[in-house]
Structure 1
């Protein structure tokens, strides 16, 4: 599918179907989907519920999100029903050292679900999902402490039926622009939840082997690995070199002028192709 197409007809934007979403646990066990018409941030809503002890599996999806947040506290807003915006509450039982894999796991799962539908999706480290070289989905994972233990709130925003004029930035795209038509958002949401649950359960059950298998699968899907990159670090310094792989902790390994350097998502502002 062509992610560079910029023309599209006026899209039809039906609402999410709660009746069909009620069947989501058949493919994503333990999932409980709540649909709200409008909310400032699905992540903020689920963070609050997590802090009150809500069990794993809660999904809050919004038809319109007015103050969505991304990495580095960036905000964005999409027209109502033009995207899939939802947050998932998880309570990983893996050791704390494995938690940094969760954002990467989520990006991998979203990319896998899109590839199953025929889109040429790849993951830009650490967790942006691309069609070609344009961003179609972003992910924000937040850790929450609660009376019943720590939780992870996984927020996903996927551009579905946005037209070229509605994209938040020129480097973005949507499934409509990539494929000429927009998929049914209800079916797509179930696909995404099923892919996330499958990847999450396999990761949790596998221990160190699960980390290693996720690392191999993520590396294969990651379009950053093998490219010359410029990593903008906090404070404005740049690290320029070749992205050579992902280390066991989920960090990007960059072969720079002073040798290999592993950078974590929390240490990075931007990763761009070299020269940009």
Structure 2
């Protein structure tokens, strides 16, 4: 066992185990309670993976909080090379790891039926991308879904799929995302900076933008209508 001390790891409430087994070129850091796996991963090199039992300040897109009781969710961050389609690629990877009937809601949600199962958060810093994946496993907040699969099994599947899809050609990522999309072909409301637009989600563009009634949206949140 190798113990690593960094400013980020020092912010952990407690550490159940700190181990860095090498799997190919991957280092896996397993922690107990942290502020956020994203915070810890930011201090680590490309190829690192941080997985935790609990987050005291977990977050999703737009600084929304991500809360779950300890041990009930997959909470993992991958330190990767930046890629403009990374969020879509990670969504495809996570959906495939969870298996059918899990689908994708633009831009970064995992759906089981019409309920949110999890999500993807990509943050870039210092020439690297921190890709967080959160999936409800044995607990879910009101209105959300849970996968009811063992965490270690889901983690291994996600890790394998992340390796595949983050190195895939852009056209393959886009094609697979379309196949797994629960958003395309249906009427949606897009909210961007307090402004709402309704229309049919027709496609995604080459940069992952959502095309609604011919208009591209590169950011925002959508509601399925």
Please say whether Structure 1 and Structure 2 have the same fold, judged by a TM-score greater than 0.5: yes
Aligned residues: 210
1:262 aligns with 2:216: yes
Q: Pick the structure with more strand per residue.
A: 2
In the alignment, structure 1 segments of 5+ residues that lack a partner are 1-15, 93-98, 177-182, 203-209
Residue of structure 2 equivalent to 1:80:
70
The correspondence for 2:174, drawn from 190, 215, 218, is 215
Report the Cα distance in structure 1 between the residues aligned to 2:121 and 2:198, rounded to whole angstroms: 25
How far apart are 1:200 and its partner, in Å?
1.2
1:31 is displaced (CA, Å) by 1.9
Q: Given the alignment, which residue of 136, 141, 145 partners 2:117?
A: 136
Aligned residue for 1:213, secondary structure, equals helix
After TM superposition, list the pairs within 5 Å mapping 1:165-180 onto structure 2. 167-168=140-141, 170-176=142-148
* Alpha-carbon displacement from aligned partner over 1:74-119 (angstroms, at most 9, x marks no partner): 1132111000101110124xxxxxx33111110111001111xxx4
Determine the structure 1 residue equivalent to 2:5.
none
Cross-structure match for 1:233: 192
Higher relative contact order (CA 8 A, sep 6+): 1
String of CA shifts for 1:153-179, please: whole Å, max 9, x gaps. Answer: 0011110011xxxx33x3311113xxx
Contact kept in structure 1, 2:98 and 2:147, CA below 8 Å: no
> 1:77, 1:103 → 2: CA distance?
21
RMSD: 1.9
Counterparts of 1:85 and 1:212, CA distance in 2: 29
Shift of the alpha carbon at 1:219?
0.9
2:205 is equivalent to residue 247 of structure 1: yes
* Runs of 4+ off more than 6 Å: 16-19
Q: 2:54 aligns with which of 60, 64, 74?
A: 64
Contact 2:49-2:79 at 8 Å conserved across structures: yes
Give the conservation status (yes or no) of the 8 Å contact 1:17–1:186.
no
1:34 to partner: Cα distance: 0.9
Aligned to 1:195: 161
* Structure label with greater radius of gyration: 1
Structure 2 Cα separation of the partners of residues 81 and 213 of structure 1: 34
CA distance in 2, matches of 1:141, 1:171: 24
Larger helix fraction of residues: 1
Which of 85, 88, 93 is equivalent to 1:101? 85
